[in-house]
Amino acid sequence: MAKSKKILIPNVEAQPGVQGNWRVERFTVTPDGASLYNMRARASRHVVPGEYTRLTHYRDVIMSDTPAEKRDHSAFVRAARGDVLITGLGLGMCVTAVLAKRSVKRVHVVELSEDVIALTAQPLLDRYGDRLTIEHADAMKRVPADGEVWDAVWHDIWPTIAESNVRDMKALRAKYERTLRDEKSFYGAWCERTCVALVNRPYVSMRSLPSFGW
Ligand SMILES: C[S@@+](CC[C@H](N)C(=O)[O-])C[C@H]1O[C@@H](n2cnc3c(N)ncnc32)[C@H](O)[C@@H]1O
């Protein structure tokens, strides 16, 4: 069987800052902190000691550039090409990863929070020029324009893996799947399979994961 090509998602370059109730900050996972976390985490969400960046809202971690997060996005990053739609700007980790690919022509991001846009958008817009557009809008309410066509669509608007995300995922699919260019186009949402599994097996709750850092 052919080995799938490893995809490198770079660490986030967003600068530390505070805007409203949102914060970008660097943090360190120590070897002891990692062991403690990994004892309780599911295998796929293990953390490795190191320096990372996270986005928090109040005290909740919304996004970070830890290996588990990178893995969650790697299928999308690998498949992205042409015209790409991302809902959820966050730290801009996905934006940077897909725009590093020459096969990606342009990326359009839909982001709900003006504070997140103020925190992370400008350096990305400066770097990528007209290959990147960022729209301030609610992805759940936004209606795709006539003639909007994407080669890849990726939704990442949820802070946690939860069964309640599935309702949003279905609503987004109903609106956006028809905007795909052809059968080779990519469509996905963050941790969709795991969320669906939680609906079917609600006793396996990801909420039992420790929430103390990343
Ligand atoms: C997990 S972060 C996204 C991380 C991003 N994929 C990255 O690579 O850094 C989720 C983002 O979705 C945004 N968001 C939440 N609900 C949204 C909505 N309904 N429409 C658009 N953006 C939304 C949040 O403000 C936050 O910036």
Specify the pLDDT at position 211. Answer: 42
pLDDT band, very low/low/confident/very high, at 45 (cuts 50, 70, 90)? confident
Residues 81 and 34 in one domain: no
Specify the pLDDT at position 208. Answer: 41
Residues 51 and 148 in one domain: no
Q: How many CB atoms lie within 10 A of CB 81?
A: 17
Average pLDDT over every residue of 71-98 = 97
Is there a domain that residue 28 lies in? yes
Coil, strand, or helix at residue 62?
A: strand
Atom of ligand 1 nearest to the CA of 141: 19
Helix axes 192-200, 165-176, angle to 10 degrees: 130
Distance 5 CA to ligand 1 centre (A): 27
Residues 89 and 116 in one domain: yes
- The gap from C-alpha 88 to its chain's centroid, in whole angstroms, comes to 7
Specify the pLDDT at position 46. Answer: 78
Specify the pLDDT at position 8. Answer: 83
Is there a domain that residue 208 lies in? no
Residue of higher predicted confidence among 147 and 1: 147
- Residue of 21, 24, 69, 89 best suited for mutating to test ligand 1, as the one with most atoms within 8 Å of CB: 89
Sign of CA dihedral 190, 126, 64, 44: positive
Coil, strand, or helix at residue 112?
A: coil
Specify the pLDDT at position 199. Answer: 84
- Residue of 23, 87, 119, 120 best suited for mutating to test ligand 1, as the one with most atoms within 8 Å of CB: 87
pLDDT band, very low/low/confident/very high, at 204 (cuts 50, 70, 90)? low
Identify which of 58, 63, 59, 60 has the alpha carbon closest to the alpha carbon of residue 20.
Answer: 58
Is there a domain that residue 1 lies in? no
Residue located nearest, by CA, to atom 15 of ligand 1: 157
Residues 148 and 99 in one domain: yes
Residues 79 and 184 in one domain: yes
Which domain, by its residues, includes 42?
17-67
Is there a domain that residue 141 lies in? yes
pLDDT band, very low/low/confident/very high, at 31 (cuts 50, 70, 90)? confident
Cβ distance 109 to 95 under 8 Å?
yes
Residue of higher predicted confidence among 127 and 161: 127
Q: How many CB atoms lie within 10 A of CB 17?
A: 12
Cβ distance 74 to 9 under 8 Å?
yes
Select the highest-mean-pLDDT range: 50-54, 148-152, 202-206: 148-152
Residue 90 has pLDDT above 80, yes or no: yes
Average pLDDT over every residue of 88-114 = 98
Residues 39 and 144 in one domain: no
- Residue of 77, 113, 138 best suited for mutating to test ligand 1, as the one with most atoms within 8 Å of CB: 113
End-to-end CA distance of the chain: 35
Q: Residues 103, 153, 121, 89: what is their CA dihedral angle, to the nearest 10 degrees?
A: -140
CB environment 51-60: b (16+ within 10 A), e (fewer): ebbbbbbeee
CB environment 148-159: b (16+ within 10 A), e (fewer): eebbbbbbbbbe
Q: How many CB atoms lie within 10 A of CB 214?
A: 20
Is there a domain that residue 204 lies in? no
Token digits of residue 180: 């795909």
Residues 96 and 172 in one domain: yes
What's the mean per-residue pLDDT of the chain? 89
Is there a domain that residue 109 lies in? yes
CA distances from 116 to 50, 89, 128, 131, 134 (A): 25, 7, 18, 20, 11
pTM of the model: 0.91
Residues 51 and 118 in one domain: no
Residue 150 has pLDDT above 60, yes or no: yes
Residues 109 and 148 in one domain: yes
Residues 141 and 122 in one domain: yes
Residues 163 and 187 in one domain: yes
Give per-residue pLDDT as tens, 16-25: 999 999 999 9
Which CATH number fits the domain that encloses residue 80? Answer: 3.40.50.150
pLDDT band, very low/low/confident/very high, at 159 (cuts 50, 70, 90)? very high
Number of domains in the chain: 2
Specify the pLDDT at position 42. Answer: 64
- In the chain, the percentage of residues whose pLDDT exceeds 70 is 88
Residues 46 and 78 in one domain: no
- In the chain, the percentage of residues whose pLDDT exceeds 90 is 72
